[in-house]
Structure 1
C-alpha cells in the first residue's frame, strides 16, 4: 500500500495549472506528525507533498514518524527552499527528493508564477547531487505551454544522472481546478512518442518502465485511460 500526505495547502508558487495557493490552509489546522502515528505500519511508499511542504519547519518530524511505517519516503517540492531541503537531505540520506520543473527558466517561471523559480530549483538539484544524495529527480507536468521543453528537460536529467517523471495537466478538487485543457494534443503526443523512443534506447531498465508509463500518458492525452495510475 502506498500513501500520499499533503502536510500543508500553503504554497509560495502561483501555478497556472493548480490553484491550491488560492485556498491555503491555516497552519493551526494542518496535520501534525502526531496525527500520523495513527496510520498503519507496512506501507510500501509515502509521498510527502503540499502545497509546498518546505514552507513548514517540521518536515523532519514527519519523516521520523513515517520512516517507521513506510519502506520509502519521497518529498515533492518546487525546490525553492534550498537550505531547508539540503538540511533534510543531510539528516535523512535515504529520503527521496523530487523537484517540479515545468520547463526551462522562462517557461517554468511563467507556469509557476515564481521569478527565479527555475534557477532556485536547479540550484537545489545541483547541490543535492554535489553532496552525494542518491535519490534525486525532477519532473514536468505537461501542458500546451511547455511541450517544447519536454525533451530538453529529459536530456538535462540524463546528463545530471537524475530521475525524470512526467504527468499531464488534469482537473481535480485537490488542485481547485476544473478548466485545465490540452488543446495541442497532436504536438504533445509527438513529443511523448519521441520521449518513449529515447527512453527505450537507454540501458537503464527503469527507463524502459518509464517508457511504458509514458505510452499510457499518450493514451490519456488522446482521451483514454492511463495504463498506470
Structure 2
C-alpha cells in the first residue's frame, strides 16, 4: 500500500513516527520532529543582512552594500545557541541575508549540533559549490532550502538582479544531492511568477528537491517598494 506519510512528508512513515515518538530530542531524525510532541518553537535566525545578491522582493534590504554592523559576534551567537538549547528549541533555521557569507557559520552549526539542536539553512544557493555542500552536511545542517523565483533564467535572474543566478542555484541542487544533503525549493509567489508555478513544480521534481515551499510577499524591506505591483490577490 502507499505510505501516506511518505507522500506528505518526504520520507516519514507511521512506524517511524511511533518508534521515535518518545526518544530524546537529539536522537530524533529531523523529518520526525513535527510528531515528537515537542511544543517548543522553531527559531528562524537571520544571521546577517549581508548578501551577494540584491533581490527586489527582499524583506530585509540585504545586499552587497551591507556590512556586519549590528550582527551578533561569534561569541554572542554561540551564547545565544546555548540559551536556545537550554530552552529546548528543537530546530534552528539559519537565514539572512545570505547566511553562507558569515565566516563563522560552520562554527555556529557545529556548536548547535553539540547542543543537540537540529539545523536547516535558507539560502539563495549561488554560493553552494561541491565543497560548500559537503561543509554544510558535515557541519550538521540537515537541509538546505534554496530559493527559486521562477522556472526560467529570465524570470529568476530578474527577481535576483543577477544574470546567471538561476544556473548557479540549479547547480546547487546537484551539489547538495552529491553531498547527501537534502534540499528543497522555496518560492515567493507574485503576480510576475505565478504563471510558472506548474513548471517550477516539475523542475523541482527533476532536480531532486525533497520539499516545495510556497511563501507570500512580505511588505518589509525592498518588498515594500514592489508590494502593490507584485502582491497576489485572493
Q: By the TM > 0.5 criterion, same fold?
A: yes
Q: Equivalent residue for 1:40? A: 84
Contact 2:43 2:92 in 1 (8 A): yes
Which residues of 2 match residues 1-229 of structure 1 at below 5 A?
Answer: 1-18=41-58, 20-21=61-62, 25-27=66-68, 29-36=70-77, 37-38=79-80, 39-41=83-85, 42-69=88-115, 71-83=117-129, 85-92=132-139, 94-103=141-150, 104-133=152-181, 135-162=182-209, 163-172=211-220, 175-179=221-225, 180-181=227-228, 185=232, 221-222=233-234
Q: Which has the higher contact order (CA 8 A, sep 6+)?
A: 2
Q: 1:43 to 1:184 in 2, by over 3 A?
A: closer
* Inter-partner Cα distance in structure 2 for 1:80 and 1:161: 17
Q: 1:6 to 1:92 in 2, by over 3 A?
A: same
The count of aligned residue pairs is: 184
* Inter-partner Cα distance in structure 2 for 1:12 and 1:160: 23
- CA drift of 1:73 comes to 0.8
Q: 1:69 to 1:33 in 2, by over 3 A?
A: farther
Q: 1:147 to 1:9 in 2, by over 3 A?
A: same
Scaled by the length of structure 2, the TM-score of the pair is: 0.70
- CA drift of 1:71 comes to 3.6
* Inter-partner Cα distance in structure 1 for 2:164 and 2:230: 28
CA RMSD of aligned residues (A): 2.4
Scaled by the length of structure 1, the TM-score of the pair is: 0.71
- CA drift of 1:55 comes to 1.6
Contact 2:109 2:141 in 1 (8 A): no
- What runs of 5+ residues in structure 2 fail to find an aligned partner? 1-40
- CA drift of 1:158 comes to 2.1
Query: Any idea what SS the aligned residue of 1:124 has?
Result: helix
Poorly superposed stretches of 4+, deviation over 6 Å: none
- What runs of 5+ residues in structure 1 fail to find an aligned partner? 186-220, 223-229
* Inter-partner Cα distance in structure 1 for 2:116 and 2:228: 35
Contact 1:17 1:177 in 2 (8 A): yes
Contact 1:44 1:71 in 2 (8 A): yes
Q: 1:46 to 1:183 in 2, by over 3 A?
A: closer
Contact 1:99 1:137 in 2 (8 A): yes
